[in-house]
Structure 1
Amino acid sequence: MKIVIFENNLYSMKNNYNFKKIRHSLKRSLKASSICFLFLSGVYSLVNAQAKAYSFAQSTGTFTALSGGTVLGTATANSGAASLYQVTPYDVTLPFNFNYNGTVYSSIKVSSNGYITFGTTAPGTANSTPVSSAETYSGTISAFGKSLNTIANLGGVTGDIRTDVLGTAPNREVVIQWTNFRPAYSTSSTSAYTFSFQIRLKETSNTIDMVYNSGAFAIGSTNVSGSAQIGLRGASNLDYNNRLNASTLAFTSSTPGTDNTSTQYTSTTAGAASGMPPAGFTYTWTPPACFAPTFTTNSSTTNSITANWAAPMPTPSNYDVYYSTSNTAPISTTTPTHTNISGTSITINSLAPATMYYVWVRSNCGAGNFSEWTPAYSYILTPCQPPVILTTNGATVCPSGSATLSATTEAGAYVNWYDAATGGNLVGTGNTYTTAPLASTTNYWAAASNVGTVKNVGPTTPASLGTSSNTNTAWDLLFTVNTPLLLKTVDVFSGTANQSGTIEILNGAGVLMSITPFVTTGAGNATPQIVTLNTYLPAGTYSMRRSGSAGLFRNSVGATFPYSTPELVITGTTFTSYPAYYFYFYNLSFTTGCGESSRQQVTATVDAAGCLNTSETAAKETVKAHPNPFSEIININKPELVKTAKLIDVSGKLIKTITNPESTLRLHDLSEGLYILVLEMKDGTQQNIKVIKK
């Protein structure tokens, strides 16, 4: 008789994701990107799959062992690679296409550690935790995932890994069998318990069976116990569907896993509560009729976000979308924010700048059949909105005159003046800018900015706090941002040169805001290595962590939290049991504000012709010059009022400057022609007189 237990496996995803899991998933999607920049533009998304949507059932039937087929590897010794321990995964071509997690595959990779994977990326030979692993294969089916090996001719028993194809199309099965494997790695040649198990992939239905055989001692009687990861994983370790039993619960009475690290305990000891799988014990995983899509790329503007996804197989009729400023995942009864999306992209408008948005998508396969929401959200940060230039006013002046230009911006911002449309020099700051004397029409550019001055927070060096050591332990520095700011740099200190690492910043929801690579200089605990971050952070709570092989100095004494500015407060570390420790990141520098607007051109126009008539009129009323035309000299009647006299030709070129002129100006060296006599008065005014040299 076949006993079947069904279980509806639609448990909801945890709302608060583990930081480390999210970090590893993100690293994969970010490797090809430059990710340290002023505004996080939302190009990052968590890789998605739908392993958690598979339904689960268990039964007790018959274990039908393979005796033929293709042998992938046979043990020739009882230890090391010759016992099939941590051997390179085997590539196996499937005789039919198999749909796993909404993606069709034509091949698999078989690990000696009791599981198979999908996709081009092979698992590491030492990967004994296939469900919780952050490795980048596209999915895994784990029948008994742990460090395993088999035996060679112990008690007449030898183990192998083999595959075979059973049945006829369209109902064939690919069977992968681990034959006579130990339940845990051992090199003993005096005692060996072995058992066999299979993964069966079924054509057309795409159902998965894990079938176990009972075990026995091939030699000796030393009992073995331990835990294995059993279940499914999608393209990331956030998407899992696994089983759990403690040592006090029978293997056959497992419950759904509560984390991707959940395991099933086994023991060969007679009477042990967990026991080993009995002969013919079977787990069956059935795919849903409707798969969720997979996020691809995203983008954002200051007031909109765009999310893109890849269609699963089979392709649904359309999609529903749910977005929020909270990372709390929707459930089946959550009302979508957008429905009946026919394509594989959506742009959501009328959003707030400098805000993190979380997006989920589900497939609508028709007739009320919906997939689950994507198990991992896509998150997109809208850039902050720099201030804008509201108005500009140019000016027109006579040759050698100084122009006063003006511009206005919104409250809380200020105006920067530049001498080029891009790059160039900052020539002034403020709502007005007065140029130097100009000989010709000149363009300037105004830009609005709200960037504050650079501030620093935190201890300056490890040496300044006291006892320190060079380590690479995984503890984070915690801080709070009260006002949106640009985190510019951080100082790190290292004892060994040329070690590679990254600095990661995550927000309070575990979303990775930036990853910045660095290579250590090995300069010691008193000489800083400045690492540029340039990461924009909205108000909120954050953590900063070190990853990679690089060791950095940290303090085991001397820290006194908080380290505070009004804008940024370093509140502590994740090493809460030792509050005097300070980890890795010193002298944080930042500026507040969102940045600078694009530059707008403002023109100072020099108009020689326009100055002639008005100048002559003004001169008649004040200072007079004669004779005009003149041959060698010009006389002015009130030299005591004049600070400087300048002669400019009609092209605007300055020909001559006379400081504190007397009543007679000697101009015999001028060529014949028309000139403008510019009189700069001591009271700050200016008079222009057209004169002719004959």
Structure 2
Amino acid sequence: MKRRRLLFVAFTFAVVLTLLTMSLALAQSGAEESSKGVESSAPPSGIPRLTGGPDAFGYVYADSNEASCNTTFNDISVSGFGLGLSDDGEGTVSSPFPISLYDVTSTTLRIGNNGALVVGSTTGSISAGNGALPSTSSEFANNPSVLPFWEDLDSDSGDVYTDVVGTAPNRQFIVQWHDRNRFNSGNVISGTATLQVVFYENSRKIDFVYQDVEFGNPDWDYGNGATIGLNQNGSNALQYSFNSPSILTGTNPVSAICFDRIDSISLAKTVGTNPAVCATEDSIGVLAGTTVYYCYNVTSNAATTRSLHTLVDSEFGSILTNFPFDLAPGASVWLTESAVITTTTVNTATWTAFNPNTRADELMSTDTATVNVLGLTCPTGQTVVNAYSSNFEADNGGGVGSLDWAWGTLSPTFPAALAGAGSSGTNVWATVLDGPYNNLGASSLLTFTVDLTGIAAPVGLNWQQYLQAAGSGFDKAKIFANGTMVYDSTGIPDETAWTLHDANLDAQAGGMLTLVFSFTATTVVNDEGWYVDDLAVQYCQVATAVELSQSDLQVDSTASIVAVVTIMAIGLTGLLLVRRREDEMF
């Protein structure tokens, strides 16, 4: 098998340089976030564990039932500065020392009355309506946030205080929500909440400490209506609990939650068909014989550099062995391996980073990618043959469309996700080529006729599509083969790119086949629509041996092994290093 390996390293220069050389020089600095986020490590039910994490950035937690989390409540309501926050109000304060949270270090905190704060922001509101983490709420989208008790707190009693405790270089900065009642919309509420966040100078530790979170109503007592955890952005967070009575209740009541960041690396393994980029999906579907490109993207969440690396893949074996490269704190590096896929493949990779002469500081991360082989699979000794095939470039492939269905060239701007590119070429069939489909209250039909006379099963259909319909409860895409439904979009998520699909046509073998692509639109809502390309109906045929004579062979006497290194800028934040190695030459 031939392998082509691409190595990418974060950098900050805008430069284009091509080198033809047998040696490889690596350069690296800066930081790049992993493309595939890791959600909260708390159980899906929202019920916390004693310990949790790490998230994609290396944050972990332990609660007060663990000996390592022994922080006690230090009331600052008398000594501290009152912010005077109103219901749903916010205020901006400055810490006496820098606070680091995820990829932001700042002395600025945006504190909300509703039990949360944002690091590094001076604007924005923290809403009353809490949600699970990771959160894409606007208040948490651009800066990391600390959420000791994200809940609809009111301002009828108490206040929110800040204070500095201790002396440099071991100071604490404390934010305390003191004697805050929950918003009352006619429900019985008799109690208040008092809790605090503690930041530590020259440390990545963050502690949540609780004195009282009982409101006198089981709907909200003990955190039953609150979100507790850390949030980096919409794709990464470390959630302790969500709408769960997890604080100051039960046999071993939790009085504190201690967060810290440990050294770690995060591997994101993805797969795609474009050799020029690191893929974004961890599962794709392809036809047998397709070349795919696995991307291994590792990000350092460590405080120190790791300079040696090993990468082992369950399919490829050892890809890197004690590979020398300085992976600095916060930096990312990625490489790709290509493979021709003939069967559905699930493979797992493990990246290990360490330093010379010791494995005590070894960091390890594992991830998995899946390639599903779709389309017709033939018995041994038989090969796939097209009974019908069209990419719709030269003509419409014999399709007959009604109502919204149209054949032609894609608009370069609509749909934006396709940017004018079909699965192959630029011509496709679509329910309106340059805009949303119409609210017809009827079905638009696209019909193809294929002669399968004399052809025995197995017979299969495969096609590429991009589908954005207004939900499974409204507009629907279906395919019928001689009146039998062989595809239904109901319950299938909208697609973000061209996606391969297949269907079984064994029941239609031996006669004329009528394929109908039926798109039903209501009169209520609409969306981008249904786009179809690269349609094929296939069957199996006994393979015919081909005999070659010596005169059929051509040899290039100038062929040789060569290494090609290309260095170019990726915007202002990426340096691309491409190394091609031909493992086999013929």
TM-score under structure 1 normalisation? Answer: 0.42
Greater helix proportion: 1
**TM-score where L is the length of structure 2:** 0.48
Over alpha carbons, which structure has the higher Rg? Answer: 1
Higher RCO, 1 vs 2 (CA within 8 Å, ≥6 residues apart): 2
